[in-house]
C-alpha cells in the first residue's frame, strides 16, 4: 500500500527510522470525535462514557499499575498461560507471519510472543494498534530489546486499525487481542467486532484472544475495586481527561468509583457515582448536564465467559477453534482460532 492511500485513510505518517513508523489519525479528527461522543453519551438519561476514553497518558499509566496489583489476577494469569505456550504456539506459525496486536498498550505480554517469532524469523514485523499514545513509548522500548524487529504502529481504534490492515499487504497475520479487552464490549458490539476481525483475516491468518472466565464473585469484585484505590483513580481519571481536553468542570471530589458484579449478565459493571446534585458543563461538547445525588455514569463492562460461551461466540463469528488454553485454576483463557 502506498502513502497516498494511507493519506486517504486520514492518517498522518511519522517515520522515526527504518525500524519504526507510526500512522495516526489527524488531531482535529480525534478531538472532534471525542467531543461529539461525549455530547451524545452524557447528554442522555442513562449516561455513559465509552472505556476507550480511559486511555490518555495518565490513564494508560494507571492501567499498567492496575496490572501489578495483587487483586488483579488477569495479567499474571494470562502471562502464565502465554509462558506455557512456548512450545505449542510455534507449531501453528512459520517464518512468514506478521504479528498484529489490538490494544497493545505497554506491549509487555507481547514479548512472550515476540520471543517465539524471533526464534522462527530473521526479521519480525510487529503491527501494534492502540488508541493511546502509549504505543509510541512501548514501541521504542521494544526496539531497544529486539534487534530484528520492524514496527508499524497504528494509533487509532481497533476498527480503524483493522481497516488499515485490510489494505496493507498479503502477508499472513497472527492477530493478538489480550487482557480480555474484548470483554469491554456489549454482546452486540462484541459480535460486530469479531465479525470485523474475521472479515479482515485471510485464509491462513490466526487470531489469539484472551478472555476472562466466570469465577467466585469475591475474586471478581476485588479485582475491580482494589485496596489501594488504583482502579478508583483510573476510573475517575476519565473525568480529568474530559476537563483537560474538552474544557469541562467536573469536580472529582463530587464523584466516587463504584463497581459491582452483575451475575445475570456475567460482567463487572463500573460506574462513577455523583455524590450530590450538581451541574457540569462540557464546553467543547456544547453540553450542560444535571446529575442527581447517587446518579451513576456507566464507564466500563468487563464480561466474563464460560468455555461453552467462548466456543459459541467465536464459532458464531465464523471462526474455527484450534485450541483453548487455560491456567490451572481456570481463571483465564487463551483461544487460538482461524478463519473458516
Ligand atoms: C485493558 S488494556 C490492555 C492492554 C494490554 N493488551 C494488556 O493485555 O495488558 C486495553 C488497551 O487497549 C487500548 N484500547 C482501549 N479501547 C480501544 C479501542 N476502542 N481501540 C483501540 N485501542 C483501544 C487501550 O489504550 C489499552 O492500551
Residues 76-117 have pLDDT tens digits of: 999 999 999 999 999 999 889 999 999 999 999 999 999 999
Nearest CA residue ID for atom 13, ligand 1 = 103
Nearest CA residue ID for atom 10, ligand 1 = 103
Q: What is the mean pLDDT of the chain?
A: 95
Q: How confident is residue 9, by pLDDT bands cut at 50, 70 and 90?
A: low
Q: Is 254 in the pocket of ligand 1 (CB under 6 A)?
A: no
**Kind plus residue range of the DSSP H or E element containing 256:** strand 255-262
Q: How confident is residue 10, by pLDDT bands cut at 50, 70 and 90?
A: confident
Residue 303's closest CA among 272, 241, 261, 256? 261
- Reported as half-sphere exposure (CB side, CA atoms, 13 A), residue 292 has a value of 6
Q: Is 109 in the pocket of ligand 1 (CB under 6 A)?
A: yes
CA 135/CA 221 separation, integer angstroms: 29
Q: What is the pLDDT of residues 232-270, one digit of tens each?
A: 999 999 999 999 999 999 999 999 999 999 999 999 999
Residue 53's closest CA among 250, 300, 313? 300
Residues 93, 172: contact at Cβ < 8 Å? no
Cα 136 to ligand 1 centre (Å): 14
Cα 293 to ligand 1 centre (Å): 31
Best mutation site among 50, 75, 130, 184 for ligand 1 pocket (most ligand atoms within 8 Å of CB) = 130
29 pLDDT higher than 80:
no
Q: What is the pLDDT of residues 32-71, one digit of tens each?
A: 789 999 999 999 999 999 999 999 999 999 999 999 999 9
Nearest CA residue ID for atom 18, ligand 1 = 157
pTM: 0.96
Q: Is 317 in the pocket of ligand 1 (CB under 6 A)?
A: no
Best mutation site among 41, 131, 241, 300 for ligand 1 pocket (most ligand atoms within 8 Å of CB) = 131
CA 254/CA 263 separation, integer angstroms: 29
Task: State the residue for C-alpha cell 471462526.
Answer: 319
DSSP assignment, residue 85? T
* The pLDDT of residue 168: 81
The full set of domain ranges for the chain reads: 43-58+230-303
Amino acid at each position: 500500500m502506498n502513502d497516498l492511500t494511507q493519506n486517504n485513510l486520514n492518517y498522518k505518517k511519522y517515520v522515526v527510522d527504518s525500524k519504526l513508523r507510526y500512522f495516526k489519525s489527524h488531531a482535529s479528527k480525534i478531538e472532534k470525535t471525542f467531543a461529539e461522543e461525549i455530547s451524545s453519551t452524557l447528554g442522555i438519561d442513562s449516561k455513559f462514557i465509552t472505556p476507550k476514553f480511559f486511555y490518555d497518558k495518565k490513564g494508560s499509566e494507571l492501567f499498567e499499575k492496575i496490572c501489578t496489583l495483587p487483586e488483579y489476577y488477569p495479567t499474571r494469569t494470562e502471562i502464565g498461560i502465554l509462558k506455557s505456550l512456548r512450545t505449542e504456539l510455534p507449531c501453528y506459525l512459520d517464518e512468514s507471519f506478521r504479528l498484529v496486536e489490538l490494544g497493545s498498550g505497554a506491549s509487555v505480554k507481547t514479548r512472550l510472543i515476540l520471543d517465539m517469532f524471533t526464534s522462527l524469523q530473521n526479521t519480525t514485523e510487529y503491527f501494534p494498534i492502540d488508541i493511546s499514545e502509549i504505543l509510541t513509548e512501548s514501541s521504542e522500548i521494544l526496539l531497544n530489546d529486539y534487534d530484528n524487529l520492524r514496527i508499524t504502529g497504528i494509533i487509532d481504534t481497533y476498527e480503524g486499525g483493522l481497516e488499515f490492515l485490510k489494505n496493507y499487504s498479503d502477508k499472513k497475520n497472527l492477530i493478538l487481542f489480550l487482557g480480555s479487552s474484548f470483554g469491554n464490549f456489549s454482546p452486540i458490539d462484541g459480535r460486530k467486532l469479531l465479525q470485523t476481525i474475521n472479515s479482515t483475516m485471510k485464509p491462513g491468518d490466526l487470531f489469539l484472544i484472551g478472555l476472562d472466565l466466570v469465577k467466585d464473585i469475591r475474586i471478581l469484585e476485588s479485582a475491580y475495586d482494589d485496596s489501594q484505590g488504583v482502579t478508583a483513580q483510573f476510573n475517575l481519571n476519565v473525568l480529568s481527561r474530559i476537563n483537560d481536553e474538552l474544557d469541562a468542570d467536573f469536580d472529582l471530589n463530587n464523584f466516587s468509583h463504584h463497581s459491582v458484579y452483575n451475575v445475570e449478565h456475567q460482567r463487572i459493571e463500573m460506574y462513577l457515582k455523583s455524590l450530590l446534585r450538581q451541574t457540569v458543563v462540557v464546553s467543547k461538547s456544547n453540553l450542560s448536564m444535571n446529575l442527581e445525588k447517587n446518579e451513576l455514569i456507566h464507564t466500563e463492562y468487563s464480561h466474563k465467559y464460560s468455555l461453552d460461551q467462548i466456543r459459541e461466540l467465536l464459532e458464531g463469528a465464523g471462526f474455527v477453534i484450534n485450541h483453548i488454553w487455560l491456567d490451572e485454576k481456570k481463571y483465564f483463557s487463551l483461544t487460538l482460532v482461524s478463519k473458516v
